[in-house]
Amino acid sequence: MSKKKETVKEIFASCCFSSLGLDSTLCDQLRERLGFEAPTKVQAQAIPVILSGRDVLVNAATGTGKTVAYLAPIINHLQSYSPRIDRSSGTFALVLVPTSELCLLVYEILQKLLHRFRWIVPGYVMGGGNRSKEKARLRKGISILVATPGHLLDHLKHTSSFLHTNLRWIIFDEADRILELGFGKEIEEILDILGSRNIASIGEGNEVSNVKRQNLLLSATLNEKVNHLTKISLETPVLIGLDEKKFPEDKSNVHFGSLESDVKEEVEHPNTTLSSSTEDFMLPAKLVQRYVKGIS
Ligand SMILES: Nc1ncnc2c1ncn2[C@@H]1O[C@H](COP(=O)(O)OP(=O)(O)OP(=O)(O)O)[C@@H](O)[C@H]1O
């Protein structure tokens, strides 16, 4: 097999976006606006699990397609809400990123994916942005907000018109870099301000119903700081992207269960040390891991 074919086989899954449970218009946007014909393996693993509503920790190398892995399921949910959401409902999803560059990159992808879902409004707040313009945009309402931690915290504290009572998703993209850059304190404060995971949300016919918040953490590396953030932000998360070989050889003391078709094994690892390719990563006690089998 040629090297190029081998690389394609390593990165891409042999399924299509629509088979992962995504709406056909969204699949069209992925193809037409981004040129994505097939999902990467990380996308194929993550999208169905995120659609199911579980908290997820994705540990996969840079460039494996993590951005669309979390954006597509969120857009999928939001576009299906009836009646349609609008600006007045405030922010439903918050994407935290380490840098202004990544903020703009994620925002650009969002703009493309939302081309045919005009009622879902993307926006950003970040360093170097115009604060009063940001305030005005937040006042008008942003459905999916991409933000760097310091600037988000500033708006949470000082922009009273920033409506986030319907917040349903918090995503930590490049969590390792967010923490490396020293935003740990800001993140804890943000989580404190955003409060309870049980949120009131508008349902069909505009009645208010309780919906649980879903948190997602994506990181190319796992270390103690990421472990701490996992503990404080995720509830019994599904782990995606950890190689089977990273699990202990002796699986006699672990429990296997089956979930939906793609989610292959359920493993309980109280305090298991994984030797990751980067640094040792101590899993939080009582964390339920769900190892997701790669689709090849
Ligand atoms: N399904 C796909 N088909 C084709 N190209 C894709 C697909 N998914 C992602 N890409 C492209 O692969 C590149 C890497 O994707 P992305 O930035 O989402 O990776 P990542 O895992 O989030 O990396 P990072 O850790 O740097 O954020 C981008 O140029 C993106 O456009």
pLDDT at residue number 23: 97
Q: How far is CA 216 from CA 49, 67, 173, 254, 265, in A?
A: 11, 11, 8, 25, 20
ipTM above 0.90, yes or no: yes
Architecture of domain 3-239: 3-Layer(aba) Sandwich (3.40)
Q: Is the CB of 39 under 6 A from ligand 1?
A: yes
For residue 142, give the nearest of 158, 113, 164 by alpha carbon. Answer: 164
Give 212's pLDDT tier (boundaries 50, 70, 90): confident
Q: Is the pLDDT of residue 207 over 80?
A: no
DSSP 40: B
91-126 pLDDT, tens per residue? 999 999 999 999 999 999 999 999 999 999 999 999
Q: Is the pLDDT of residue 264 over 70?
A: no
List the Cα angle 258/237/151 in 5-degree steps.
155
Determine the Cα–Cα distance for residues 274 and 150; give it in Å rounded to an integer: 31
51 versus 294: the higher-pLDDT residue is 51
pLDDT at residue number 9: 67
Which residue, judged by its Cα, is nearest atom 24 of ligand 1? 62
Closest atom of ligand 1 to CA, residue 220 = 25
List the Cα angle 71/73/76 in 5-degree steps.
105
Sheet holding 93-96, edge to edge: 122-125, 144-147, 93-96, 169-172, 214-219, 56-59, 238-240
Joined tokens for residue 217: 């953490």
42-86 pLDDT, tens per residue? 999 999 999 999 999 999 999 999 999 999 999 999 999 999 999
pLDDT at residue number 211: 76
Mutation probe of ligand 1 site: the residue of 29, 36, 219, 295 with most atoms within 8 A of C-beta: 36
pLDDT at residue number 241: 87
- As a whole number, the mean pLDDT across the chain is 82
Closest atom of ligand 1 to CA, residue 36 = 3
Which residue, judged by its Cα, is nearest atom 10 of ligand 1? 65
Determine the Cα–Cα distance for residues 46 and 40; give it in Å rounded to an integer: 10
Q: What is the mean pLDDT of residues 233-252?
A: 65
Helix (H, G, I), strand (E, B) or coil at 267: strand
- Residues of the chain with pLDDT > 90: what percent? 69
User: Which of 38-47, 106-115, 126-135, 170-179 is predicted least confidently?
Assistant: 126-135
User: Which of 24-28, 30-34, 51-55, 245-249 is predicted least confidently?
Assistant: 245-249
Which residue, judged by its Cα, is nearest atom 15 of ligand 1? 65
Which residue, judged by its Cα, is nearest atom 5 of ligand 1? 36
Query: Kind and range of the H or E element at 69?
Result: helix 66-80
